[in-house]
Amino acid sequence: MLRKCARVFFVMVAGLLCAPAAVASAHAVLDNSAPTSGATLEESPPQIVLDFDESVETSLGYIKLYSSSGNKIQLPPAKSDAADASIIRVVPPTLAADTYVAVYRVVSADGHPVEGAITFRVGTGQLSNVSSVIENALKETRTSTFLKAAMALMRLISYIAVSVVLGGIFFLLGADVRKELLNKAIKVAAAFLAFSTALHYLLQGVTASGSRLGQIANFSIIKNVFATQVGKSLLTRVVISVVLVCVFSLVGRSKNTHQSLVNFVSVFAFISLPFTYAFAGHAAVDSPAALTVALLAWHVTAIGVWCGGLILLVGNGELRISPIVEWFSRRAAIIIVAVVVTGSAQALLLMNGISNISKTSYGKALIVKVCIVGVMLICAAIVRRRFHESGIDRLRTVLTAEIAVGLLVLTITSGMVAASPRPTVSNAPFSTALVQGDVIVNITISPPRVGESEMHVIVSPPNGSLDPVFSVKARLSLASSSVPPIQTQLNAVGPNHYVGKIQFVYPGRWSLDVIVAPNANSEVLYSTQLSIK
């Protein structure tokens, strides 16, 4: 019974770790801003500052500023702070009294674009509803489904190709096998790796900058991709792959085997290719960076050798002989242990433990992968049993099934690249306008998440002026909790403009009542709901 439980636990852990952990990186989240979202300023801000929870890159990003009418205000390029790469800033021109939307787009450490918006108001005039301005501004640079699918396909091809390269080099340097059997496989896989990575580089530019597919060959965008950490890693991978293709092509055409050159280039590629994945993700910025990068590189190497070795055994009948299968089988046990150990550490670091596994789309996908990889490991057990019982005669079918399941895992991984393993919370403010009779109440809550938030309420008619109201109060309740309704008294800071602090104690769907007293003897109730993350 104990042995059975241990096997189940091993399968579950392996499922969490099967794919390279770099694809599971969390994305940057806006921590603070100046002005704070929803703030009312007496005069134009000297600068707009955005502070993220990790280093971000601005070569492909921007800060755009819009007025309440949707007019774009010209800004200079956003710059990273010289002392802190997690902070970007821009100096706006002098702004007139109005409500403004600052839309931002940056590239996080894992190469994914992160976008959002903050709002602020200059002066104490009427607060405008700018939700449509935010929606239109973000819609302009939204990545199309086609681009997302193309990126996922290039990643999938890259994963398969690098696995064959690593598996081929592993056989080439360690097994007693004719080199000619592997040279062509490594050369073809390296060519596919170079092609898919180069196209990934081009797609990275249009995706990260919010451009359209027609801009894929734009030299300025291509140059800006190289300024990013992901761009450098991708280009390095292309160069290594091209060198592999050239060296193995030279070997095939020359009577001189150039074995020393082949061995040197093979060892170099075997060591360096996994690091091009490690440096393209959060492993390079997590702490301690040396440990996280090394763990991820070892993990990519182990999973690549495992899957690549299986693909070669299925695809090349001359490799599928008893001595080679037995040689690989003995080493596969050690490889799987390396996959589990290195992947466990990466998963725990990137997910901050397993408590978030059911809270994100990434975590839910991992649960699916647990089941799929369980099937893959069952296939591996059948392969070993059949090999010991009847040799290689009945292996091809089961090896093919194992590879098919492995490819399914890599496909799921490609779709998970855009997901974050950690729950992320947007700082974009909640904003709504409620109407009773001919009076509009504009409500802004920033940020709409657990903790302290600031609430602004502005009471105004559709047109013209309104006599000062007597008071404004707010009441919050959460039906799914035993927390009693929270009463909040708002303070006047301008003509019919009230501000107060709110403490959200739980996430969920909250009900908000705003009670406006036009005079001491009457009250008008405005109600809405909002989601607190």
* 171 and 134 in a common domain: no
* 53 and 111 in a common domain: yes
| Structure tokens belonging to residue 146 | 């086609």
CB neighbours of residue 372 within 10 Å: 16
Q: What is the pLDDT of residue 10?
A: 41
| CATH of residue 39 | 2.60.40.1220
The secondary element (H helix, E strand) that includes residue 509 is strand 508-519
**Residue 150 neighbours by CB under 8 Å, 6+ apart:** 199, 203
- Ranges of the chain with pLDDT below 50: 1-26, 464
**What residue numbers bound the domain in which 110 lies?**
29-140
Q: What's the number of domains the chain is made of?
A: 3
CA distance 368 to 16: 9
CA distance 439 to 433: 10
Three-class DSSP labels, 190-217: HHHHHHHHHHHHHHHHHHHHCCCHHHCC
Q: Quick check: is 401 in a domain?
A: yes
CA distance 187 to 193: 10
The secondary element (H helix, E strand) that includes residue 167 is helix 145-174
The secondary element (H helix, E strand) that includes residue 174 is helix 145-174
Q: What is the pLDDT of residue 70?
A: 86
* 514 and 446 in a common domain: yes
Q: What is the pLDDT of residue 283?
A: 65
At residue 222, φ and ψ (nearest 5 deg) are -60, -45
Helix runs in 254-360, H state only: 259-278, 289-315, 322-351
* 274 and 246 in a common domain: yes
Q: Quick check: is 304 in a domain?
A: yes
Model pTM score: 0.70
* 69 and 52 in a common domain: yes
* The last residue of a domain, from among 125, 140, 155: 140
**Residue 390 neighbours by CB under 8 Å, 6+ apart:** none
Chain length of the chain: 533
Q: Are 16 and 103 in contact (CB under 8 A)?
A: no
Q: Quick check: is 383 in a domain?
A: yes
* 483 and 445 in a common domain: yes
* 494 and 447 in a common domain: yes
Give the sign of the dihedral formed by CA 33, CA 38, CA 39, CA 40.
Answer: positive
Q: What is the pLDDT of residue 8?
A: 40
* 406 and 456 in a common domain: no
At residue 114, φ and ψ (nearest 5 deg) are -125, 125
| CATH of residue 518 | 2.60.40.1930
CA distance 157 to 413: 12
Return the residue matching tokens 């800006």: 224
* 295 and 404 in a common domain: yes
Q: What is the pLDDT of residue 4?
A: 42
List the one residue out of 208, 232, 203 whose CA is nearest residue 62.
Answer: 208
